[in-house]
Chains A and B, each alone.
Chain A
């Protein structure tokens, strides 16, 4: 049974921030103040007792068709019905001709790898993952797509054919998209 993204992120953040909180509690109990001397510099530091948690809610209302597409295993982009401009990430509005009437199309299944990296030092909210490869792939549809690449990075070369996958991400269980060598 693969873990879900909420549990995975919560667990890593607990590990990261939980221990210092326990130390803070002990510190206040023992000294009456959330204050300690930095062991490296000897500087006196006040530990903030007011924690701020950030978790945003983003509107995907105008690109609801993109979300529907993911649910059906498809990655969709938009084409302006008036001027033909193509958008990925999909846009609901066309700044080129100021129209907001879009056709939704499915992206081609295969593209070509332009560049890639391996994220070795990960953000806290991704640190439950092993090192992951992020690539930018040129699609025949006329735009590029940034996504994870499921491959041994040593085998990658510019121009390599990459197949797009839309599925539940292992370890996180929500639907997203990534590439695999074709």
Chain B
């Protein structure tokens, strides 16, 4: 297997993007990534589009994006892994290079959720489980699935709704410092606690929004990377696993087994001690589609012991200056969660973090040169853990 580097990254403004079509939205990040790598479309041998769709009009997003972005005829394909679709796109591009099939490949994540009215989007995401046994008869929603975990976790470990709100407060704070985030306003614990329930015990402010956005990363082989940039960011490891479709088949509701397995895989490949991963990492992006998801991520990744994840956020340990800065771009919670783009945007953000190129107020100190992305599809239906490194 060959070494693979990130050599160019781009991310569109996230939000309700009524001003652009799906391919126009993709182009914003494709162009930024090409400019970042100082490459033209002719240099890209292949591309992978991460898009979930359903709520948007294009049935074949990879061909539409390929045509608009001047990536025809090349090897282009679309991949899907629910909310971890972006990571699946990065992983596919990674393997094309690692295997020697191609030298320069682009992963593009794009989603236009606002082409459909909100109730339609709620309906679509609610179906993202085991359709007949969870949705058809019982009308579960995406917040509902995570709420089942929140209820069990809070009863078991004594975490409170206020603890969950502290995750939202942190991520909104960092979102307010990120010009590309959907939400640019800091919030208070009180505002969060006073927001209405969407799926008890989860409230509106515990939840990531419906978002349009795109992100693109250009990956290259070692030889190609060294010609393109002086600061390649290496993909050290990608761990990934899946979970049961039907939540009733899970062993417990206090963590995501798929994420735990993905983390172990990634740590082993990257040479990280799974007992003390924070000793190796400068910064992390974790999948905070709901506040409870970020707390479980701390534990599934080994940043905190089982049942103690909420204490990290209580003590402010995941702000810059703490044990490990997490989601300092606003996370899914405040930056927004354009399903297929989210995983790609995590890699784009961490690449910029490692290169020390983000806004000063939210730049994590880079001392060890390693960063981690944790991207979950559905409710632990898929999990990807990706380790990036400067060396």
Chain A contact residues, CB within 8 Å of chain B: 16-17, 20, 38, 40-41, 43, 45, 48, 58, 88-89, 114-127, 129, 132, 134, 136, 143-148, 153, 157-158, 176-177
The 8 Å CB contact of A121, one of B120, B131, B143, B248, is: B143
**Contact in complex: A144, B249 (CB < 8 Å):** yes
User: Shortest distance in angstroms between B40's beta carbon and chain A's nearest beta carbon?
Assistant: 30
Task: Point out the residues of chain B lying under 8 angstroms from A157, CB to CB.
Answer: 155
With A121-B198, A134-B140, A148-B138 as known contacts, state yes or no: A115 contacts B122, CB within 8 Å.
no
User: Shortest distance in angstroms between B382's beta carbon and chain A's nearest beta carbon?
Assistant: 20
The 8 Å CB contact of B247, one of A118, A146, A148, A153, is: A146
Q: What are 11 A-B pairs with beta-carbon distances under 8 A?
A: A41-B16, A41-B18, A48-B57, A58-B136, A117-B202, A120-B196, A121-B143, A122-B139, A127-B119, A132-B139, A158-B156
**Contact in complex: B119, A124 (CB < 8 Å):** yes
Which B123-161 residues have C-beta < 8 A from chain A? 123, 126, 130-141, 143-144, 147-152, 155-156
Query: A177–B137 Cα gap in the complex (Å)?
Result: 9
Task: Point out the residues of chain A lying under 8 angstroms from B131, CB to CB.
Answer: 58
User: Shortest distance in angstroms between A178's beta carbon and chain B's nearest beta carbon?
Assistant: 9
Task: Point out the residues of chain B lying under 8 angstroms from A158, CB to CB.
Answer: 152, 155-156
Query: A119–B200 Cα gap in the complex (Å)?
Result: 7
The yes or no answer to B280 lying at the interface (CB within 8 A) is no
**Contact in complex: A119, B199 (CB < 8 Å):** yes
With A41-B18, A145-B248 as known contacts, state yes or no: A114 contacts B152, CB within 8 Å.
yes
The yes or no answer to B73 lying at the interface (CB within 8 A) is no
User: Shortest distance in angstroms between A6's beta carbon and chain B's nearest beta carbon?
Assistant: 14
Closest residue of chain A to B251, judged by CB? A144
User: Shortest distance in angstroms between B339's beta carbon and chain A's nearest beta carbon?
Assistant: 17
The 8 Å CB contact of B197, one of A17, A120, A136, A146, is: A120
The yes or no answer to B19 lying at the interface (CB within 8 A) is yes
Chain B contact residues, CB within 8 Å of chain A: 16, 18-19, 57, 117, 119-120, 122-123, 126, 130-141, 143-144, 147-152, 155-156, 196-202, 246-249, 253
User: Shortest distance in angstroms between A180's beta carbon and chain B's nearest beta carbon?
Assistant: 15
Query: A53–B306 Cα gap in the complex (Å)?
Result: 45
Query: A136–B134 Cα gap in the complex (Å)?
Result: 11
**Contact in complex: B122, A123 (CB < 8 Å):** yes
User: Shortest distance in angstroms between B67's beta carbon and chain A's nearest beta carbon?
Assistant: 19
Closest residue of chain A to B18, judged by CB? A43
A38, A132, A134, A158: most-surrounded residue (chain B CB, <10 A) = A134
User: Shortest distance in angstroms between B352's beta carbon and chain A's nearest beta carbon?
Assistant: 27
Query: A45–B197 Cα gap in the complex (Å)?
Result: 31
User: Shortest distance in angstroms between A139's beta carbon and chain B's nearest beta carbon?
Assistant: 10
**Contact in complex: B139, A146 (CB < 8 Å):** no
With A40-B16, A123-B126 as known contacts, state yes or no: A146 contacts B200, CB within 8 Å.
no
**Contact in complex: A136, B18 (CB < 8 Å):** no
**Contact in complex: A120, B138 (CB < 8 Å):** no
User: Shortest distance in angstroms between A174's beta carbon and chain B's nearest beta carbon?
Assistant: 9
Task: Point out the residues of chain A lying under 8 angstroms from B148, CB to CB.
Answer: 115-117, 134, 136
**Contact in complex: B139, A126 (CB < 8 Å):** yes
Task: Point out the residues of chain A lying under 8 angstroms from B117, CB to CB.
Answer: 16-17, 20
Closest residue of chain A to B140, judged by CB? A134
With A134-B144, A146-B247, A158-B155 as known contacts, state yes or no: A120 contacts B198, CB within 8 Å.
yes
**Contact in complex: A122, B151 (CB < 8 Å):** no
Closest residue of chain A to B203, judged by CB? A120
**Contact in complex: B141, A121 (CB < 8 Å):** yes
**Contact in complex: A147, B139 (CB < 8 Å):** no
Smallest CB-CB A-B distances: 5 pairs: A117-B147, A126-B139, A43-B18, A124-B119, A118-B200
Task: Point out the residues of chain A lying under 8 angstroms from B138, CB to CB.
Answer: 134, 146-148
Task: Point out the residues of chain A lying under 8 angstroms from B155, CB to CB.
Answer: 115, 157-158
**Contact in complex: A117, B144 (CB < 8 Å):** yes
Task: Point out the residues of chain B lying under 8 angstroms from A129, CB to CB.
Answer: 139
Query: A127–B139 Cα gap in the complex (Å)?
Result: 9
**Contact in complex: A119, B152 (CB < 8 Å):** no
User: Shortest distance in angstroms between A141's beta carbon and chain B's nearest beta carbon?
Assistant: 12
